[in-house]
A and B are shown apart, each in its own frame.
Chain A
Amino acid sequence: MASVILDKVKKVYAGGVEAVKGITLTIPNGNFTVLLGPSGCGKSTLLRMIAGLEHISSGTIAIGDRTVNDVEPAERDIAMVFQNYALYPHMSVYDNMAYGLRNRKTPQAEIERRVAEAARMLAIEPYLQRKPRALSGGQRQRVAMGRAIVREPAAFLFDEPLSNLDAKLRVQMRLEIRKLHNRLKATSIFVTHDQVEAMTLADQVVVMNGGQIEQTGTPLEIYRRPASKFVATFIGSPAMNLFSGTVAAPGQVALADGTKLAFDAASIDAKPGMKVDVGVRPEDAKAETGGSRETPVLKWDVTEELGATRLLHGTLAGEPFVLAMPADVTSPAKELAVGAVAGAVHLFDPGTGRSLRRG
């Protein structure tokens, strides 16, 4: 077990393309960190640099108290789970798991003990003598994880391990990975583009965009206090509603049609007259009963039933808006007054996209 410390890590490809633009990040010992971002944001490249599969252009990576920039992957004391499992097709499940240990001259008795233990933990004992091709996707995934576990590494690296599984299995394996982590308490770095995976698995989420870190925090911090418009719209489903406005008075923002929303002036640094982008999550928007002429009005035309919730799609102050409401309430009139608690209204700088929240 060890922490992983990245310091100004950069990756520049031969063509001059900067895939990772100087990332500084600490993954504490025993922490489950998820690197989250859209495809092409550099998250996989970063993981592969930690694994030693990609050369580091500049900066340093340390695992524990050892700088590993020039250390071979096998010597870095890490284990990696690949998206397509990367099991050796000609070896049995047992050999797949034992191969790495044999290469490091682990005593035979110790190999048997570790493989047996991992197989028991992952419930793959009946398949130990089978070839990978005789296994289902979920079983292969377990074997890939078993191969990582038997190494007893300082850090586990997961490169989108669940994206090849079907939806149901994905949910199940997600839970199992988390359970496994709670049990092993091993430092883990998990790359995904799926926000639900990130929210459910992570102790720490690192949202990446364009080779840079947009925000680092616990899943709830990321959700409640997004640091930028990018994070605000990337996390949460459906995405946060965004529209432009102007700060009218301390704690009050005017929208394009003159209606007003209250925000928490104590935590948001916005002076009257400032142009801002206003963000409200669909699930934070509420139908208001006693609205005044200054209350924003949602004109909705389409509903989506999601079972527990219902989404109303329409326009508010001339811009698209989605409102989530409980499904067991009858749909309101086509035009309804909308409000949100001041704490759930987010303001962003329209130029930089950064949140105007203090601290």
Chain B
Amino acid sequence: MVERQTFVSRYLPHAVLLAGVAIVAFPVYLALLASTYDAASVQNGQMSLLPGGRMAENYTRLIFTGTSSSTREPVGTMLINSFVMAMAISLGKIAISLISAYAIVFFRFPFRMAAFWLIFITLMLPVEVRIYPTYKIVADLRLLDTYTGLTLPLIASATATLLFRQFFMTVPEELVEASKIDGAGPFKFFVDTLLPLSVTTIAALFVIQFIYGWNQYLWPLLITTRDNMQTIVIGIKKMIVTQDALTEWQLAMATAVLALLPPVFVVVVMQKLFVKGLVETEK
């Protein structure tokens, strides 16, 4: 199909897209701006659309000292907590799902389908649904305010297992047989053939799960009471709601910017693999 390029057909789509980008980007820019002023300017609405001069001061204070209001924990600690939680959830999920999908797809054992359905059913039971029993178990195991308690209940889920199962089922049977003839046992086949083939799927899953873990709100809110176990998402919330002091908006915004960076970094770095993992067909 040959399209006639008129002025409108050429520039209108770009104009619409640019408008869209502006709508999405402006609040982010505003947060970035706010984090470079002092509290009073933000509060009074005297902020201009150009950066103020207090960026270094705000961020240094935030990361190493923390705010003076309801949460006094340095945001550096929160960042570490969030990072540990997101990494533990994504790596834990990938490890467990790889192994369970491998068992379900490549081995014939009694109650294989029962095992599969048990895993599948957990899809319908996200943390929000099973929150009370899960909390009770974690509390009874004395895992409140620990990294284990923070991550373990979120690691157990079926999505990743199902994704790997779908991928493994596309691996040709002959590849398994060729490995058998080449003298590779189940473990060697897993490490030498299946894992290298799964790299892109693993990358895609890592991106999704890292962001999922990073954005967790409800579970960390319940399970952590000590300030030094707090994640950054909770930290932001606590900074905004203050009882009898002025909200330090410049610091809250700086925290928001910091909270934004790791997921963005992960997406940017893994983008290529991520897209490949979702669309890859060649085996």
B196 within 8 A of partner (CB)? yes
Q: Does B193 contact A (CB under 8 A)?
A: yes
Cα-based distance from A103 to B181 in the complex (angstroms)? 10
Known: A80-B178, A99-B182, A100-B182. Contact between A89 and B283, CB under 8 A? yes
**Most chain B CB atoms below 10 A, which of A83, A99, A147:** A99
- A82 close to B182 (CB less than 8 A): no
Q: Is the CB of A80 within 8 A of B181?
A: yes
Which of A72, A79, A86, A104 is within 8 Å of B177, CB to CB? A86
Q: Does the CB pair A78–B181 fall under 8 Å? A: yes
CB contacts (< 8 Å) of B283 on chain A: these are: 89
Q: Which of B181, B188, B193 contacts A79 (CB 8 A)?
A: B181
**Cα distance, A329 to B157, chains bound together (Å):** 78
Chain A residues with Cβ below 8 Å from B175 are: 86, 88
Contact B188–A133 (Cβ < 8 Å)? no
B103 located at the interface, meaning its Cβ lies under 8 Å from any Cβ of chain A in the complex? no
Question: Does B282 lie at the interface of the complex (its beta carbon under 8 Å from any beta carbon of A)?
Answer: yes
- Report the minimum CB–CB distance from A92 to chain B (whole Å): 12
Contacts of A88 in B (CB 8 A): 175, 178, 192-193
- The distance from the CB of A79 to the nearest CB of chain B, in whole angstroms, is 7
In the assembled complex, which residues on chain A have CB atoms less than 8 Å from the CB atom of B183? 74-75, 100, 103-104
- Interface 0/1 of B174-199, CB less than 8 Å to A: 11011011111000100011001100
**Residues of B close to A99: CB separation below 8 A:** 182, 184, 192
Check B197 against A100 for contact (C-beta < 8 Å): no
Please state if A90 and B174 are interface contacts (CB–CB under 8 Å).
Answer: no
A87: chain B residues at CB < 8 Å are: 178
Q: How far is the CB of A330 from chain B (nearest CB, A)?
A: 53
From B174, B188, B282, contact of A103 by CB (8 A):
B188
Whether the Cβ atoms of B172 and A73 lie closer than 8 Å is no
> How far does the alpha carbon of A53 sit from the alpha carbon of B175 in the complex, in Å?
12
Nearest-neighbour CB distance to chain B for A35, whole angstroms, equals: 18
Majority SS at the chain B contact face = helix
When the two chains form their complex, are residues A103 and B184 in contact, meaning their CB atoms are under 8 A apart? yes
Say yes or no: B180 contacts A53, CB within 8 Å.
Answer: yes
Nearest CB on B from A85, distance (A): 8
Any chain B CB within 8 A of the CB of A3?
no
A215 to chain B, nearest CB (A): 29
B178 CB, nearest partner CB in chain A, Å: 4
What is the bound-complex CA distance between A52 and B178, given in angstroms? 11
Task: Specify which chain B residues have a CB less than 8 angstroms from the CB of A85 in the assembled complex.
Answer: 174
Given contacts A78-B181, A133-B282, contact A90 B188 (CB under 8 A): no
A51 adjacent to chain B (CB < 8 Å): yes
**CB neighbours of B180 from chain A (8 A):** 52-53, 72-74
Query: Looking across the interface, which residue of chain A has its beta carbon closest to that of B197?
Result: A90
Asked whether B181 lies within 8 Å of A73 as measured between CB atoms, the reply is: yes
Q: Give A80-139 interface residues, CB cut-off 8 Å to B.
A: 80, 82-90, 99-100, 103-104, 133
Q: Once the chains are docked, how many angstroms separate the CA of A52 from the CA of B182?
A: 12
A84 touches B192 (CB 8 A): no
Q: A99-B182, A103-B188, A104-B183 are in contact. Are A80 and B197 (CB under 8 A)?
A: no
Name the one of B177, B193, B196, B282 contacting A80, with C-beta atoms under 8 angstroms: B177
Residue of A nearest to B188 (CB): A103
B181 contacts across to A, CB distance below 8 A? 51-53, 73-74, 78-80, 100
Contact present for A84 and B177 (CB under 8 Å): no
* Docked CA distance A87–B182 (Å): 11
Contacts of A79 in B (CB 8 A): 181
Q: With A and B bound together, what is the CA distance between A210 and B186 in angstroms? A: 34
Instruction: Say how far B156's CB is from chain A's closest CB, in angstroms.
Output: 30
Closest Cβ of chain B to A305, distance in Å, is 41
Cα–Cα distance between A73 and B184 once the two chains are bound (Å): 10
In angstroms, Cα B283 to Cα A133, docked, is: 9
Cα A133 to Cα B281 with chains together (Å): 12
Are B184 and A86 within 8 A (Cβ)? Answer: no
Q: Which of A53, A89, A147 contacts B197 (CB 8 A)?
A: A89
CA distance A137 to B192 in the complex (A): 24
| A99 vs B283: C-alpha distance when bound (angstroms) | 18
Of B175, B183, B197, the most chain A CB neighbours within 10 A belong to: B183
Q: Which residues of the partner chain B approach A104 to less than 8 Å between Cβ atoms?
A: 183
Decide yes or no: A86 and B174 within 8 Å by CB, A78-B181, A100-B181 being known contacts: yes
Does B182 contact A103, Cβ atoms closer than 8 Å? Answer: yes
- B184-228, CB < 8 A from A: 184, 188, 192-193, 196-197
Q: Which residue of A lies closest to B283 (CB)?
A: A89
The chain A residues found within 8 Å of chain B, CB to CB, are 51-53, 72-75, 78-80, 82-90, 99-100, 103-104, 133, 147
Top 5 nearest A-B pairs (CB, nearest first) are A74-B183, A100-B182, A86-B174, A103-B183, A86-B178
11 contacts between A and B (CB under 8 A): A51-B177, A72-B180, A73-B180, A74-B184, A80-B177, A83-B174, A85-B174, A86-B172, A86-B175, A89-B197, A104-B183
Name B's A-contacting residues (CB within 8 A).
Answer: 172, 174-175, 177-178, 180-184, 188, 192-193, 196-197, 282-283
**What would 11 more interface pairs be, CB under 8 Å, given A75-B183, A82-B174, A88-B178?**
A51-B181, A52-B181, A53-B177, A74-B182, A78-B181, A80-B177, A80-B178, A86-B172, A86-B178, A88-B193, A100-B182
